[in-house]
Amino acid sequence: MSAARATLALIGMRGAGKTTAGRATAELLSLPFVDLDASTLRVAVHAGERAESITELFDAVGEAGFRELEAYALRCVLEPGVRCVLATGGGTPERADNRVWLSRAAFVVWLDAGLATLEERIAAGGASRPALGGGDVVREVAALAARRAPLYAALADARFATDGGAQPEALAREIAAAWSSAAEAG
């Protein structure tokens, strides 16, 4: 894979399995794993914001402030051209500049899960992420998925369904194979 697209970036809705599949894929490929939420929290600390979680950060700076910090964190990961596996936030591709960065610097994999799966996983995960509409996180999933699906589809180099309890290791092998095929073709 060229330095221009050294990163393997996972996109998709909250609950699609980006972190789990990302860790498994990074381990399989012997690459560093980067969680964009964690990177965004580190950027926020450097910007003078103290938050222990994405929810706290979101509450402190609002959605617009959070998206600015997230975009900066994304550029910090992608710009050096370091080979790694990156799990993005579900809303990361909503910003046009983030889509440009991802398309230039990463092989992008869309992890796609159906609404029932997303709702189940989000409900089981508790309130670790903020609701963007100010209401119930689970209830907003359908609207967010409908809004984001065309963005994910346009950006993705590969797409994998994550419904049905697929094992992370098996999914990691499929993701790695797609990335390897793209590198050989490219």
Closest Cα to residue 13, out of 134, 141, 103, 128? 141
Report the chain's terminal Cα–Cα distance, integer Å.
8
Catalogue all structural domains in the chain, each as residue range(s) with its CATH number. 3-177 (3.40.50.300)
Per the listing, tokens 């799966």 go with 117
**pLDDT tens track, the chain, 186 positions:** 555 688 999 999 999 999 999 999 999 999 999 999 999 999 999 889 888 899 899 899 998 999 999 999 999 999 988 899 999 999 999 999 999 999 999 999 999 999 988 888 887 765 555 555 555 666 788 889 999 999 999 999 999 999 877 789 999 999 999 999 988 886
Compute the distance between CA of residue 93 and CA of residue 71 in angstroms, rounded to an integer. Answer: 10
Strands 106-112 and 84-87: unpaired
